[in-house]
Amino acid sequence: MKNFILATALLLLCAFGVWVVYETLVIPESARLVAEARQNGSAAPQVFIVIIKDWEQQICITLALWCLLLLGAKYWEIFSDNHFYGIDFLGTMIEAGDGEDEKQTLRKTMKEIDALPEKITSTPVIQTLLASIRRYLMTEDVHSTSEAISLSVDALALRQDAGSTMIRYVIWAIPSFGFIGTVRGIGAALTQADEALQGNITLMTDSLGVAFNSTLVALCLSIPLMLLLHGLQRFQDGQLIKTQEYCEKFLLNRVSKYVHPAQTS
């Protein structure tokens, strides 16, 4: 719920910011350029401010800016958690042959980790580590603990995929709004075909400009966003791998020393 409220607030902020820029700069300046072109009997100049002047482009820019912020938050979340993979949270585990002492120390360590700030305990590596420790304390079986690590990593992958659903939808929606502008512009151009046959092609070319400009802006925005999304997925896959390797290195390698002979037979 917290993430939804934050994402909605970012969308409203982006919409307001883009609207202010359009109302104060883009719309007045593009209207001036179009009016001057019509006075001279020519089509509107294909400059940047004219290309982005229509409402379809405004929506595309708003969605692209929002998507960038969502992607930036995801990247920051991954990079800010990287240093945890170099910390041995189980460093106080007793390296002794007595399995009971080892279990008691694990319980103590787990309580100490649970007492850490939520910012730390909510990270994927800590959540996976705690789930694996609980499984080991319940079963005293290394194989079962290894399965718990794999299940936790799979659940993390599902959460990551679900968390990127909105980003993927927005990247899909941007070209869709561009195509809406294309249909609207071509439709307007067809209604002005009679004037074009009479020699006045200015209005028709302006309408076709709307059609092509909306698609141009939408595609130019969606291509780099898709690249950033693929980069995010690559970093998320790397996070899954590092999480599993961390638990195997700092937990499984330790508890495997206390496996009872019956477990290895």
Using one digit for the tens of pLDDT, what is the confidence trace for 92-142?
555 544 445 677 778 888 888 888 888 888 899 999 999 888 888 888 788
CA atoms within 13 A on the CB side of 48: 3
Residue 49 domain flag: no
Residue 8 lies in a domain: no
Within-domain flag for 265: no
Owner of token pair 């400059």: 47
Residues of the chain short of pLDDT 70, as ranges, are: 1, 92-101, 194-203, 257-265
User: Among all chains, which residue has been given the structure tokens 């998507």?
Assistant: 67
Would you state the pLDDT for residue 259? 55
Query: Which DSSP symbol is given to 89?
Result: T
Task: Confirm whether 17 is domain-assigned.
Answer: no
Q: pTM to 2 decimals?
A: 0.84
Average pLDDT, the chain: 85
Those residues whose C-beta lies under 8 Å from the C-beta of residue 179, and which sit 6 or more positions away, are: 214, 215, 218
Q: Does 26 map to a domain?
A: no
Domains held by the chain: number: 1
Asked if residue 92 lies in contact with residue 109, where contact means CB atoms within 8 angstroms, the answer is yes
Domain that holds residue 131: 54-259
Tell me the C-alpha distance between 99 and 132, whole Å: 17
Could you tell me how far CA 80 lies from the centroid of its own chain? 15
Q: What is the pLDDT of residue 79?
A: 92
Write down the pLDDT at residue 265.
42
The pLDDT, as a whole number, for residue 73 is 93
